[in-house]
Structure 1
Amino acid sequence: MVWLHVVTVLVVAQYMGFGMLVGWARGRYEVHAPAVTGHPMFERLYRVHMNSLEQMVTLLPAMYLSAQFWSPLWSAAAGVAYIVGRFVYLKAYANDPKSRTLGFVMGFFPIIGLLAATLVGAMMAG
Structure 2
Amino acid sequence: MTAYPGPALLSLASSLLLFACTAYVGRCRIKFAIKAPAISGHPQFEIAYRIQMNTLENTVAFLPVLWVCALTFSSLWATVLGGGWLAGRVWYALAYARDPATRGGGFGLSMLCFGALGLAGAWGVLSGLFG
TM-score bucket (shorter structure): over 0.9
Is 2:34 the partner of 1:31? yes
Paired positions, count: 126
Match of 1:21 in 2: 24
Alignment of 1:1-126 (within 5 A): 1-126=4-129
Unmatched tracts of structure 2, length 5 or more: none
Deviation at 1:119, TM superposition (A): 1.2
Identity %: 31
Distance between the aligned counterparts of 2:51 and 2:21, measured in 1?
7
Normalised by the length of structure 1, the TM-score is: 0.94
The one-letter amino acid of 2:120's match is: A
Name the Cα RMSD after superposition. 1.0
Runs of 4+ more than 6 Å apart: none
| 1:55/1:108 contact within 8 Å kept | no
Normalised by the length of structure 2, the TM-score is: 0.91
